[in-house]
Amino acid sequence: MGERVSVESATVAGDFRDLLKAVIHVEPLVEITPGGLCPRLWVDSLSITGEQ
């Protein structure tokens, strides 16, 4: 696994429908955020660009 870094902003490339099809696992516990409840999703493949 690579090094973990903080990202100020990120862009996810691709089609939203393809992203939903690539979900392979939804963790049963959710994180409470200011925007609501947020489960962690595991996806098969994802293209992300961003700056540190």
Is residue 44 within 8 Å of 1, Cβ to Cβ? no
Residues 13-41: pLDDT tens digits? 888 898 889 999 999 999 998 889 988 88
- In terms of pTM, does the model score above 0.85? no
Nearest-angstrom CA–CA distance, 10 and 52: 9
Main-chain dihedrals φ then ψ at residue 34, nearest 5 degrees: -60, -25
Q: Where are the domains of the chain?
A: 9-51
Nearest-angstrom CA–CA distance, 36 and 33: 5
Q: Is residue 6's pLDDT more than 80?
A: no
